[in-house]
Amino acid sequence: MGEEKKLGIVVVGASGDLAQKKVIPALFALFCQGYLPPDFHLYGMARSDFDSEGFRRKIAENLTCRYTPGEASCADRTEAFLSRCHYCQGQYSSSDSFLDLFQLMREQEGDGPVNRIFYMAIPPTVFLDVARALGDSGLVACGDRDEWSRIVIEKPFGRDRETSDILIREMQKVFSEDMTYRIDHYLGKEIVQNLMVLRFANLIFEPLWSRAYIRSIHIRWAEPVGVGQRTGYFNGFGIIRDVMQNHLLQIMSLLAMDRPVKFDAREIRDAKVQLLKAIRPLSLDDLVVGQYGASESGRQSSYVAEPMVPSDSLVPTYAAALLKINNSRWDGVPFFIEAGKALEERINEVRIRFHEVPGHLWGDQQARVEANELVIRIQPDEAITLKIMNKVPGLDLKLARTDLNLRYQSAFNALIPEAYECLLLDVIQGDRNLFIRADELAAAWDVFTPVLHQMEAGKIAPELYPYGSRGPEAARQLARRYGFFGSDLP
Ligand SMILES: NC(=O)c1ccc[n+]([C@@H]2O[C@H](COP(=O)([O-])OP(=O)(O)OC[C@H]3O[C@@H](n4cnc5c(N)ncnc54)[C@H](OP(=O)(O)O)[C@@H]3O)[C@@H](O)[C@H]2O)c1
C-alpha cells in the first residue's frame, strides 16, 4: 500500500490529452485500490482557463470505475477523488506561476513535510522552461529534509544523441538523475514486464536463448490508422524517433540482454545498457523508410494531405530496420524491427524463430518439419504462443505445426492494469526499474543517430505505400536479404 506521508502530485499540462486520458485516470485507479496515501492532492497546472470546479468536471469525463464497480461506490470514490483535485492557471516559464501553485499547495496541505511528484504532460519544447521555473520557485525539495521530489517526463527525449544529452544536462541542473523518472509507457505493459519472468523464471528458455538455437527475431508494431491529431508533433519526429528508438528498442533490450545480477533497478538497467551498447549503429543499407499514400479505395488520404504536413514532407510513417548485436550470444542473428502507421492491422508482437531441426527424419512433404516459433503478442489481446510440431491424429503420418497458447485474459482471471497505473505506482514507491536511465537513453540514441542524420542530410525519400496495406515492398526485400523466407517473411 502507499506511503502514509502527504503526497502532492502536480500534473503540468493538465488540460492536455495525456493528462486527461491517461495520467489522471491512472491516478484515480490507484486511488480506488488504496495505493495513494490518505493525504494526497492532485494539482493541475496549465495555461487554459479553468477554475478547480471546471477542472474537476473535465477530469470526471474520463474516469471509469473498473476497480470499484457498482453505482454507489463508484460515485463515492469519484467524489472523494475529485475533492482532492485542484487547478492553478499559469505560464510554464514563469516562476511566479509556480509560486501561485505553491501557495495553493500550502493551503491544501498545511505545514509539515510533503512528497512531491511533478508530471510533465507537456510538449518537449517546454520541458526546460518548466524545470527552470520550478527550480527558481524553490518548489523542488532537494532531499536534505524529510521529503522528496520526483519528476516524470515522457518521450521524446530529444531528437538525437546531442539534443538528448543537452536536455539531460539542463534538466539535471534542477532534478538530479535520482529524482528523474523517464517514462516509456511500453515498459509498464504487463506482457513487457513478463519478458524477464518468461526468460529467467523458466528453465526451458535460457539455454536456448542464443545464436545456437535462435535464427531470427522480428519485432513488429503496426497501427491501422494514420497520424490523426498529432501531425504537428509527428512531422517533427517521424516513426523512428516516435516508436523505434524507444518502445521497440526497449523491447529488444529486454529480450536480448544478459541475466541481471539481481532484480533491482540498477542491475536491470546495467544489463540493458550493456546490450544497447553492443548493438551496431544502424546503417542506411539496413533501413527501409516508407510514407503512407492514399488508400486504394481513395477513402483515406495520404500523409502529406494531413493538416499541418507540408506537401513535400519526407518524414517516414513506416520504418523497417535490421539490427545486429555484436556479442557472443547474438552474433549473426538478425533482429528485424518494424513500425508503421496506416497499415493493414493493429498489432505489436515479437516472433522468435528457432533454427530448423538438423537432419531429416521424415523426408517427404507430408511430414515436413517446420521450425519452432515463440510469439509474444503485446497488443491487442496479450498472448504467448509456442508453435511446435505434432503428429496429426490419423493412420497416416502427417505432421503439423500447432500452437501452445497462453491468452492472458483467459489464463489470468484478473484485470490487466493500464501501463500508466503501474508506472505511476512505481514513481510513488520510488521503484526505478521500469524507467530509462540517462546512459541507457544515450546508448539507445547511438543506435539511430548516425542514420537519422544521413537520411536527413541526403533527403532520402520514403517509399510510398497505400494506406491500409502491408507497408513498402522494399522491407520484404530487406528481410529476404537476411534469410527470412516463405511464411517466415515478416
Ligand atoms: N498523448 C499521448 O498518449 C502521449 C503518449 C506518449 C507521449 N506523449 C508525450 O507526452 C507529452 C504530452 O502529450 P499530450 O498529447 O497531452 O500533448 P498536448 O495535448 O499537445 O499538450 C499538453 C498541454 O500542453 C500545453 N501545450 C500544448 N502545446 C503547447 C505549446 N506549444 N507551448 C506551450 N504549451 C503547450 C497545452 O495546455 P495549455 O494550452 O492549457 O497550456 C496542452 O493541453 C508530450 O511530450 C507527448 O509527446 C503523449
What's the number of domains the chain is made of?
2
CATH number at residue 228: 3.30.360.10
**Is 289 a domain residue?**
yes
d(CA 367, CA 361): 9
Residue 1: predicted pLDDT:
45
Total-model pTM: 0.93
Residue pair 307/229 in contact (Cβ under 8 Å)? The answer is no
Write down the pLDDT at residue 142.
Answer: 56
Taking CA 251 as the corner, what is the angle to CA 328 and CA 405, rounded to the nearest 5 degrees? 100
Co-location of 202 and 245 in the same domain: yes
In a domain, 168, yes or no: no
Q: What is the pLDDT of residues 306-340, one digit of tens each?
A: 999 999 999 999 999 999 999 999 999 999 999 99
Rounded distance, CA 64 to CA 249, Å?
32
Rg, Å, the chain Cα set:
24
Please state, in angstroms and as integers, the Cα–Cα distance from residue 395 to each residue in 161, 403, 482, following that order: 62, 22, 39
Mean of pLDDT values over 369-390: 94
326 within 8 A of 447, measured Cβ to Cβ: no
Which helix (H) or strand (E) segment holds residue 290: the answer is strand 287-293
Structure confidence at residue 143 (pLDDT): 52
- Domain endpoint, select from 129, 154, 179: 154
Q: Is 323 within a domain?
A: yes
9 has pLDDT over 60 = yes
- Quick check: CB of 170 below 6 Å from ligand 1? no
pLDDT at 145: 64
Same domain, 224 and 79: no
Q: How many residues does the chain have?
A: 490
Q: Cell 545480477 belongs to which residue?
A: 261
pLDDT of res. 489 = 78
Is 41 an active-site residue? no
% pLDDT > 90, the chain: 82
Mind listing the pLDDT tens digit for each residue in 94-144?
999 999 999 999 999 888 889 999 999 999 889 999 999 998 888 786 555
Cα–ligand 1 centroid distance for 19 (angstroms)? 8
Residue 380 has pLDDT above 60, yes or no: yes
The helix/strand/coil state of 222 is: strand
What is the residue with the minimal CA distance to atom 4 of ligand 1? 18
Last residue of a domain, one of 107, 137, 154: 154
What does the alpha-carbon distance between residue 254 and residue 267 come to, in Å, rounded to a whole number?
13
> Angle at which helices 419-429 and 24-32 pack, to 10 degrees?
70
41, 86, 218, 247: the active-site residue: 247
pLDDT digits (tens, 9 = 90+) for 411-439: 887 788 899 999 999 999 999 999 999 99
Q: What are the pLDDT digits (tens) for 53-108?
A: 999 999 999 998 888 777 677 888 999 999 999 999 999 999 999 999 999 999 99
90 lines ligand 1 (CB under 6 A): no
In the structure, what pLDDT confidence band is assigned to residue 2 with cuts at 50, 70 and 90?
A: very low
* Residue 304 near residue 462, CB atoms below 8 Å: no
Residue 479 has pLDDT above 60, yes or no: yes
pLDDT on residue 232: 86
323 and 457 together in one domain: yes
Q: Does residue 348 register a pLDDT over 80? A: yes
The Cα 287–Cα 277 span in angstroms is 19
| Cα 13 to ligand 1 centre (Å) | 6
Which structural domain, as residue segments, surrounds residue 29? Answer: 6-154
Residue 487: what pLDDT? 74
Q: Which of 195-199, 411-415, 478-482, 486-490 has the lowest mean pLDDT?
A: 486-490
Q: Which atom of ligand 1 is nearest the CA belonging to 233?
A: 47
- Asked if residues 320 and 478 have their Cβ atoms less than 8 Å apart, the reply is yes
Our answer on whether the CB atom of 167 is closer than 6 Å to any ligand 1 atom is no
191 with 318, same domain: the answer is: yes
Backbone torsions φ then ψ of 356, nearest 5 degrees = -75, 155
pLDDT at position 458 over 50: yes
Please indicate, yes or no, if residue 313 is contained in any of the structural domains: yes
Contact 175/149 with Cβ under 8 angstroms?
yes
- Does the pLDDT value for residue 460 go beyond 80? yes
- When the pLDDT of each residue in the chain is averaged and rounded to a whole number, the result is 93
So what's the pLDDT on residue 415?
81
Instruction: Measure the CA–CA gap between 276 and 251, rounded to whole angstroms.
Output: 11
Asked if residue 236 has its Cβ within 6 Å of ligand 1, the reply is: no
The one-character DSSP state at 167 is H
The secondary structure element, H or E, covering residue 41 is strand 40-46
Q: What's the CATH number where 113 sits?
A: 3.40.50.720
